Amino acid sequence: MFNTEFNLGFGLPRTDSCTKCDELAIKVSSGEEKQELQQERNKYQEEAQTSYDSKLRQKVATTQRW
């Protein structure tokens, strides 16, 4: 019924972002203190990537032990 009557579909999002990333992106695009916000956004994303990489390395190391 959802697909035929309302033309709705269900699926996973292609990309995901956190609330803080979204807020910083909006503020940067609106021009409020653009330089500072861009630096804050870059720093935040670098920290997030570092954490993600660490998590991935731990997962691989755990998988290899088995």
pLDDT score, position 34: 83
Extract the tokens encoding 55. Answer: 């998590």
What local confidence, expressed as pLDDT, does residue 32 receive? 65
Predicted model pTM: 0.59
Amino acid 35: pLDDT: 85
Please state the separation of Cα 55 from the chain's center in Å: 15
Q: At 62, phi and psi to the nearest 5?
A: -65, -40
Q: E strands of 1-66, at which residues?
A: none
Q: DSSP secondary-structure letter at 30?
A: H
- Contact predicate 43/49, CB 8 Å: no
For the chain, 66 residues long, give each residue's pLDDT as a single digit of tens: 555 666 666 666 666 778 888 888 888 887 767 888 888 889 998 998 999 999 999 988 887 765
